[in-house]
Chain A
Amino acid sequence: MRQLCKGNVAIVKAAITAGCRSYYGYPITPASEIAEYAALLIPQVGGTFLQAESEVAAINMVYGASSAGQRVMTGSSGPGLSLMQEGISYLAGAELPAVVVDVVRGGPGLGNIAPEQSDYFAVVKGGGHGNYRNIVLAPASVQDMYELTILAFELADKYRNPAVILTDGFVGQMMEPLEIEEREVKQPEKPWAVKGTAETRKNLITSIQLSADQLELHVRHLEAKYKECEKNEARYETYMADDAEILLVGYGIVSRVLRSTVDIARQHGMKLGLFRPISLWPYPSKALADTAKKCSKVMVVELSTGQMLEDVKLALNGTKPVDFYSRVGGNVPSAEEVHAEIFARMEALV
């Protein structure tokens, strides 16, 4: 069935569908609905919701619940995510699965509450200390919020690693029809968990490795796991990319705008196409390079001063010119604006 649903609410519904019965969080605009709906819904299916005293505490409660074998989630926005980085590093170090949602707002500092994509570095490139990666998924619709959150739980468990839903105020706040059915959820066994039972008594959750050799071994183990994840989990979609002369690259809300830009441009006889990374880590580098082969140029559009841009350049490795257009501060370009910009840049070349 379909129900009109807000993006942030779809995340909570996805969590419940995925069998998550633990939510620990702290309110922040524009992510507060996640905490509010978790507070309303999760206790009604026998789960735990707790508003922590801070994001620092919240992510450590997530660490505790994950240690105990629970599917667990927290949600926040940029400033809160900054506070959670320590905890996320510990989660990765201790190989604990968890789902973290970042509904990105304008930064740095207090910034504002309007949408940006300026947490890309903080989430995709690490943010916390040490050699670790987050699995990062970027929804572009309410349905995506639902599907990718369920996927995030599965990937987090599969790789025993934190998975982040990186979205923005627009996707979080907007309402669209959500196709939702009851699903059978298979949760993996977690024989490593510490549950306060005889069977789990021998278990230890830790990220400390005292000797250099021990830590190297551990980091190499994580590295191998991340390589496996890179091999299996890169996700993307394309739109009219087959015959595109200019390939637009954008994720999240921007990919929606760019889809409309492609339509407008095609009406004007300009062959644009779209490449939308769905997983930001692992980045679909190979797919992007393949898709871009036939194009003359690639153009990245981002709500940041050029963060994902670096991954696009790495993926293309100098084989194509990469142009860049961005809006920040909470401004989101319209499809017409991007179209006009591309047109103006082409004119300038003539």
Chain B
Amino acid sequence: MSEYQVAQQKSPVFYDRYFRKDELQHQTHYCPGCGHGVAHKLIGEALAELGLQDRAIIVSPVGCSVFAYYYFDTGNVQAAHGRAPAVATALRRSNPESIVVSYQGDGDLAAIGTAEIIHAANRGENITVIFINNSIYGMTGGQMAPTTLIGQTSTTSPWGRRANNEGFPIHMAELLSALEAPVYIERVSLGDNKNILKARKAVRKALELQKQGAGFSMVEILSPCPTILKMDPVVARKFVNETLTKQFPLGVFRDRKPEITVVNPPQRSVAEVLGIKKETATAEEKAARKAFTHDVTMKIAGFGGQGVLLMGQLIAEMGMREHMEVSWLPSYGPEMRSGSAHCHVTLSHERIGSPLITKPQVLVAMNEISLRKFAPQMAQGGLILYNRDKVPEDFTLEGARVVCVPASEIADQIGSAKVANVVMLGALLEETECLPVETAWGVIKSFVKNEKLLAFNKEALEAGRKYVDEKVLVGACCQPDGCGY
């Protein structure tokens, strides 16, 4: 064997050795004439030239490209089929100094991973996508790809791809160029050396842009797959240059930076964000408050928009500030959007078992539907606060008493229908004495920021108390049962 000189070394971004099993020590994973080897080399060279080897992470997905990590002496992450852009997104965002390459085939990127590539591109992720389009599934043995040409046979398009059955080949470079965010998209070919040099430039440019933090870049590489296409390597390259390029024209589809206004959220300490404040009350002070509160279970119900959920929250917050155990459980779901809403509130000095209240001691019924629906569930000796001046004529109930408080009317007189729930809260506190009214005022002050509304709330709380104090004595009960007036 005669002496020869090595004109070009392998890229330093490639490992010196790669692992192959037994009899395959002297060949790569890729078939003779396969484009992956060339594409790998272009990436390796570009990373080396740009000094990015240490910062680089190659994401290799499912397909022949899954073997990339055998060759690239960079950080490597293998991803699920089609998901490389999602994985790359989070890799890059987690370490903004990293250079992330999502290396994907046509099945991976243009079929199963369509959503991920479109949205990564649309978000303008700072990643570089190398898209190997060889018009066929290689790893799985020659099934149709989304880029398979019309008439091209594959194991799953035995009569050739038919537009009437499989649709037309998909053009990813054009498609992604319709988006606002991408900075650079070019389609290149590995069909001959001249084109390989152009591809080399494109890959380098894409990585350089990422290095600058410019945004999303993709190089679509038309690449030969001689084994699956059953062509010899030379014919396969010719197929790429003469046939594939007709369907997938080469060129730059996007090379501009979009206008991006950067909005950064305010930065706060963990304690501030979590709402952590210093505890001031001592154990003795807490225990002393016990005399001012008592256990109660309640259901608060009405139309959506009457503030029944908020009223429950106010009561729960009050209970908590009085050092009680509390729970607030809303009805939730589609009914929130129209119709009725209700919540369960428990105030207790002991640990609370079920937050679900099926026999409430107190029911606040802000409308007639709620009154009729929940009144039969009342605990013996329970109290119903009903948002009218009297109960419906045909309404009867045993074992619980009804106190009628026309809260909505009172709220209207005050000047805001919104505060009907606070009128009812005032009435509830006056009637049950489960919590001190000053606590209610303290809670309302921390919930309501608008001065005018706060004034209404103050008036409402007082009006509710006063109404119960002055007007509710007789005639509010539906039937004399020993519990009522």
Contact = CB atoms under 8 A, between A and B. Distances in A.
A160 to B, nearest CB: 15
B267 interface: yes
A113 interface: yes
Given A4-B326, A180-B276, A207-B78, A22 B90 contact: yes
A64 B91 contact: yes
A174 interface: yes
Interface stretch (A54-62, A226-234, A305-313): A54-62
From A16, A60, A72, residue with most partner B Cβ within 10 Å: A60
A109 interface: no
A191 interface: no
Interface in A150-205: 169-170, 173-177, 180-182, 194-198, 200-201, 203-205
Interface stretch (A37-45, A130-138, A290-298, A318-326): A37-45
A48 B352 CA distance: 36
**Residue in A17, A22, A335, A337 whose Cβ sees the most chain B Cβ within 10 Å:** A335
Given A17-B270, A206-B69, A257 B80 contact: no
A4 B267 contact: no
A270 interface: no
**Which of B79, B269, B326 gathers the greatest number of chain A CB atoms within 10 Å?**
B79
Nearest to B15: A202
B129 to A, nearest CB: 14
A279 B433 CA distance: 41
B76 A334 contact: no
Interface string B236-277: 000000000000000000000000000001111111011111
Contact of B274 (A17, A67, A198): A17
Nearest to A94: B78
Contacts of B276: 1, 180-182
B83 interface: yes
B317 interface: yes
Query: In the complex, which of the residues A72, A174, A200 has the most CB atoms of chain B within 10 Å of its own CB atom?
Result: A174
A41 B279 CA distance: 22
Contact of A257 (B66, B271, B328, B353): B353
Interface stretch (B53-61, B225-233, B401-409, B449-457): B53-61
A267 interface: no
A29 B270 CA distance: 27
Contact of B353 (A72, A174, A260): A260
A261 to B, nearest CB: 8
Nearest to B74: A201
A63 B55 CA distance: 19
Q: How large is the interface on B (under 10, 10 to 19, 20 to 34, 35 or more residues)?
A: 35 or more
B91 A65 contact: yes
Nearest to A21: B94
Contacts of A114: 333
Interface in A32-88: 41, 43-46, 48, 50, 52-54, 56-58, 60-65, 67-70, 72, 86-87
B119 A57 contact: yes
Contact of B116 (A48, A57, A113, A263): A57
Contacts of A175: 313, 316, 327-329
A48 B94 contact: yes
Contacts of B123: 50
Given A195-B95, A196-B55, A263-B353, A176 B88 contact: no
Contact of B90 (A43, A65, A90): A65
A336 interface: yes
Contacts of B277: 1
Contacts of A44: 265-268, 273
Given A206-B77, A259-B353, 16 more contacts: A44-B268, A44-B273, A53-B115, A61-B90, A64-B77, A67-B87, A68-B91, A70-B90, A112-B333, A114-B333, A174-B330, A174-B355, A196-B56, A196-B75, A197-B95, A257-B356
18 contacts: A2-B320, A44-B273, A45-B267, A45-B270, A50-B90, A54-B115, A57-B83, A57-B116, A60-B80, A61-B87, A61-B90, A173-B330, A176-B355, A177-B325, A196-B98, A197-B75, A206-B76, A253-B355
- What are the 6 closest A-B residue pairs judged by CB atoms, nearest first? A196-B98, A64-B90, A260-B353, A68-B94, A334-B358, A60-B86
